Structure 1
Amino acid sequence: MSREYQTGYYAYQSGDFSEARQQWEIAALNDDPYAQYALGLLNYRGDMGRPDYPEAVKWFQKAARANHSGAIYYIGLLYYNGHGVNYDQFRTTEYFKRALQADPGNGDAAFLTGTQYFHGRGVRQNFVEAAHYFELGAKADNHAAQFMYGALLERGWGQEENQAEAYYWLRRATLGPITLPPGLNLETPMDPMAAVSALEARLRPEEITRIDKRLQTEGFIPN
């Protein structure tokens, strides 16, 4: 991580996007993948006025050559929406999977790979694979993945039905915001509180108490 990248980061945090871009370009031209990724985000978000997707693609691709998981993930999003590249769901899935290979803790990449398998976008629909990737995202504390993994456990889709484990993951999903990237079409409403309430009516009180203790022991809810 170069000095210019850090200078650009502080400029960005203070709202001086022009100075941030200038510093990051210096670092990026010297093959700093963090600066290349930052420039990709700057253009993707339109911080300088409006999104410049072709420029975002250029910088994300440079950072991706250094196996930067975030850059690889955003290339997948660009293919998903057809921004700066041709719309291509197969490439979307491949880039999400590559991002996860680069960083197994990338919960966003795991969640979106799961959605691709769940809906059969760019791959053959496969609930077993969807559950696998949702579980990876859930364990990385992605709340959307926790919701989907809990929902699949509740229904027995892609793995054996387990109401208690479904309740655990749905409870985890209620503990933080569910944030989704722009343009993502899930076709599945996410309301973890409603799902938790519905499951509570079907679980025995001692099961709920046991799961509460598990959440407390793991530090997710107070004692």
Structure 2
Amino acid sequence: MELKNGFLLIAVGFCFLIGYSYAEAEVNVCNKHFYIDEHGYRHCDEIDGVAVDDYLSQSFENYQVGHNICFIDFNGPYFDKANPKMVCKPQDGLTKKDGAALYANSLFAQLKESPELEYFFLTYAAAMDDPQANFNLGMVHYNGFFNQPVNKELAFQFMMTSAIEGYPKAMHNIGEMKLVGEGTEKDLMTSFQWYKKAAQFGLVGSQFMVGKMYEMGWGTEQSNQQAFDSYLKAAIQHDGEAMVRMASLINKDKTLGYDSADSIILLYLAKHADNHDALLTFSEFVEQGIIDNHDIVNMDAWLKSTCGYENLGGCVADLQSNQIVRF
């Protein structure tokens, strides 16, 4: 699950940050911080008067409340990757567009291993409603990074803001926090709805959780068919646990239209997806004589000729058209 996987910021990568073409630097460059006014004109900043030599230290160490916030606009006309210049704007002059630039600066600070500066930029990017920044700040306060105390309630607020802004991973985490009541009241119906929203963006974990909630009847009417269909979407994306749940549903609900051969093949595929439960169950079937060596040879040959180990989801998709070759 997203919240339990630790703090993995989305590394857009240094190539993204420096990959844009850039204009030739203007001749009359300010020796001090500068900012762009509402008409697009550049002005030297006389508030702090710090020379533009090392933005990584200037932007944070020389910042004072009420002074201009300095950052590199990687899409701006003054971006020179050989000699990057800063844009400085008054705090109340920042816009939503600046939020994306501030978030990009937080990634740059991460690459430079400057956690204080990274947190600084994340905070201002989130204030400008950047969805990824709000998501990352949610993770910060959920896990207690950047020397911040763990605060699940605050984490939920940042996650909700990001989810409302349309960020799928935040939607998934809202579903998870609502499911167990972390940082917010437990609400299975709301949890289910947020998982469904995230699943529409193709998140495997969300698709699996929608299936599980249908199967268990959590926050929605119980439906093995709906559960199977949602597990199928996750399984096609190589989710071994979803394959195991599909096999289980087939064995207990014959109205789904599949048989024990389909169930065994799903366990076989889940085993190759490195699912521990599938590996144990498949081994037990071999020991009990439910599956013999001849069956395994046939399944191995079918897998090799039909899908291959790198495309297990393609094998699972055959269930939809009932084209799985029986062993």
Taking structure 1 as the reference length, what is the TM-score of the superposition? 0.78
The C-alpha deviation readout for 1:30-68, integer Å capped at 9, x for no partner, is 221111111112222332455311111111111112221
> For this pair of structures, how many residues does the alignment match?
207
Alignment of 1:167-178 (within 5 A): 167-176=264-273
Alignment of 1:1-223 (within 5 A): 2-9=100-107, 11-12=109-110, 17-47=115-145, 48=147, 50-101=149-200, 103=201, 105-156=202-253, 159-176=256-273, 191-199=277-285, 201-203=289-291, 205=295, 207-213=298-304, 214-216=306-308, 218-219=310-311
Distance 1:210 1:42 in 2: 48
Secondary structure of 2:222's partner? coil
How far is the alpha carbon of 1:126 from its aligned partner? 1.4
**Which one is further off, 145-154 or 87-96?**
145-154
Distance 1:219 1:139 in 2: 9
Match of 1:182 in 2: none
Distance 2:165 2:219 in 1: 25
Distance 1:50 1:30 in 2: 23
**Which one is further off, 22-31 or 151-160?**
151-160
What letter is aligned with 2:150?
Answer: P
Stretches of structure 2 that go unaligned for 5 or more consecutive residues are 1-98, 313-327
Quick check: 2:250–2:263 contact (8 Å CA) kept in 1? yes
How far is the alpha carbon of 1:73 from its aligned partner? 0.8
How far is the alpha carbon of 1:216 from its aligned partner? 2.0
* RMSD (Å), alpha carbons: 2.8
How far is the alpha carbon of 1:13 from its aligned partner? 6.8
How far is the alpha carbon of 1:218 from its aligned partner? 5.0
How far is the alpha carbon of 1:5 from its aligned partner? 2.1
The C-alpha deviation readout for 1:149-194, integer Å capped at 9, x for no partner, is 233234446622333433343233334566xxxxxxxxxxx71102
What letter is aligned with 1:194?
Answer: L
Distance 2:149 2:270 in 1: 33
Distance 1:13 1:167 in 2: 46
Secondary structure of 2:257's partner? coil
How far is the alpha carbon of 1:134 from its aligned partner? 0.8
Secondary structure of 2:256's partner? coil
> Which of the two has greater strand per residue?
2
Quick check: 2:141–2:148 contact (8 Å CA) kept in 1? no
How far is the alpha carbon of 1:123 from its aligned partner? 1.7
**Residues 173, 50 of structure 1: alpha-carbon distance in 2 compared, 3 angstrom cutoff:** farther
**Residues 84, 217 of structure 1: alpha-carbon distance in 2 compared, 3 angstrom cutoff:** closer
Taking structure 2 as the reference length, what is the TM-score of the superposition? 0.55
Match of 2:42 in 1: none
Stretches of structure 1 that go unaligned for 5 or more consecutive residues are 179-189
Distance 1:75 1:63 in 2: 10
Runs of 4+ in 1 over 6 A off after TM superposition: none
What letter is aligned with 2:144?
Answer: G
**What percentage of aligned pairs have identical amino acids?**
20
Quick check: 2:102–2:122 contact (8 Å CA) kept in 1? yes
